[in-house]
Structure formats: structure tokens, C-alpha cells
Structure 1
Amino acid sequence: MKKVIFYETMAGKSPVEDFLDSLSSKQAQKAAWVFCLIEELQIVPTKYLKKLVDTDDIWEVRIDFANDIFRFLGFFDGAELIILNHSCPKTILQ
């Protein structure tokens, strides 16, 4: 079972938590649901978790809610831990 945690600075601030706090209640609920899905599923669909191409193990948590798209970047620390250290809204559809 994987565990999703958020990066914290030495001062105890978490950029990901700050970003989540800026979302609407429904957007934050969808993000929490995706994080739970990642923790609970042995094999997570690439719709929600995908390794970025040509990177040294940087992973993208993908959250689509209505017309909003959010991305959280992070990495595995061992086989069971994801540390999310960056988040942003995606503004360009590809």
C-alpha cells in the first residue's frame, strides 16, 4: 500500500497544502479522492498517476474536475511512498 505525503519546507510550510486550500470544496474533495485511490490501488490507472517521459522518476498526479485540470508532481521514496512537492492548474489542453 502506497502512502501519499506532501513536501514541507524547513519552516513547516507545504506548497501543495497551500494550493489545495485555494481550491473550491468540490475540487479539493476530488483531489482527496484521487489521493485515496493512489494509496489504495495496487495498480493505479494512468488517468490518475503517470510517470513523466524523459525524467528521472518524476510522477504526475492527474486530477480532472469539470473544466478544471490540476497536476501534482512528486516522486517515490522507495516502493511505497509518494512525496508531492509541486502543484498547479493546467491551462493548456494537449
Structure 2
Amino acid sequence: MFFNVPLLVNFAMEKIRKIIFYKDYFLDFYNLQNEKVQNKIDEVLFMITVLERVPKKFFDHLSGTNGLYEIRIELGGNIFRVFCCFDEGKLIVLFNGFQKKSQKTPKNELMKAEKLKEEYFKIKDNEKGK
């Protein structure tokens, strides 16, 4: 349960970060999950928005990438990952998610996240230039 996390929580539960979804990639993944998994994902996303220091168990930079992070969700022996990045400091952009079935992160999922991140910033830069 979220409240068992041994950290100081922003007691007012003010959001210190905002989460957005890039297109429907995350929502497509989310909607395929059962209610228990969705609830766990919701808990972890909430934690990321209100905790100043999110434990690496739930949120960590992916080494070997240029600014990609992974959100880590575990439930009943099942492991799920959602790739994301920061934009403009406190804004987190969610990309693709998947169920992890081995120790290594699947290359195709990582490549997809890198591609989506590039696409996101390219579109954003193009919109700024208009």
C-alpha cells in the first residue's frame, strides 16, 4: 500500500509534478490491465506526483539512455514498466508500457520509447516554431 512507503510525504498532498500521456500509448497499455493492476499503477503514478524523492524501486533513470526513465510497478509476482521522460522540469510525459517477463528490458520496448520521446520533442519544437 502506498502509505507504507517509509518517506516523508507532502502532507497537503500537493502535486509537485504533473503527468501527461503522449498520444494513446500509455492508455492503450493501461486499459488492457485488470482492475488490481490499474489500481497499483494509479498508486505509483500518484506517488510520483506528490513525493519529492520517489524511491528507485518505483521510478528510476534508465542507464544508457538520453533522459528516459521507467516507472516500476509490481503486483503479485508480475512486473510492469512504463517509460517516460521529464519535460520542462516538473512535467512527466508517459510513453509505452509493458509487462516485463524477463530480467532484461526488451530492446523493442526500449527502442519504441526512444522513438516516441524523439517524436514528442520534435512535434513540440515544431509547434513552438509556428
Query: TM-score scaled to structure 1, two decimals?
Result: 0.90
Aligned to 2:10: none
More helix by percentage: 2
Match of 1:30 among 23, 30, 40: 40
Question: What CA distance in whole angstroms lies between the structure 2 residues aligned with 1:78 and 1:55?
Answer: 18
Larger radius of gyration between Structure 1 and Structure 2: 2
Query: TM-score scaled to structure 2, two decimals?
Result: 0.66
Question: Aligned pair count?
Answer: 89
- Aligned-residue Cα RMSD (Å) equals 1.0
Tell me by how many angstroms 1:93 deviates.
Answer: 3.2
Question: What CA distance in whole angstroms lies between the structure 2 residues aligned with 1:19 and 1:53?
Answer: 23
1:2 to 2:17 alignment: yes
The correspondence of residues 48-59 of structure 1 with structure 2, limited to 5 A, is: 48-59=58-69
1:85 to 2:90 alignment: no
SS of the equivalent of 1:27 reads: helix
Aligned to 2:114: none
More strand by percentage: 1
Q: Which has the higher contact order (CA 8 A, sep 6+)?
A: 1
Question: What CA distance in whole angstroms lies between the structure 2 residues aligned with 1:60 and 1:83?
Answer: 11
Tell me by how many angstroms 1:71 deviates.
Answer: 0.3
Q: Percent identity?
A: 31
Tell me by how many angstroms 1:63 deviates.
Answer: 0.3
Aligned to 2:79: 69
Question: What CA distance in whole angstroms lies between the structure 2 residues aligned with 1:44 and 1:4?
Answer: 14
> Partner letter of residue 86 of structure 1?
N
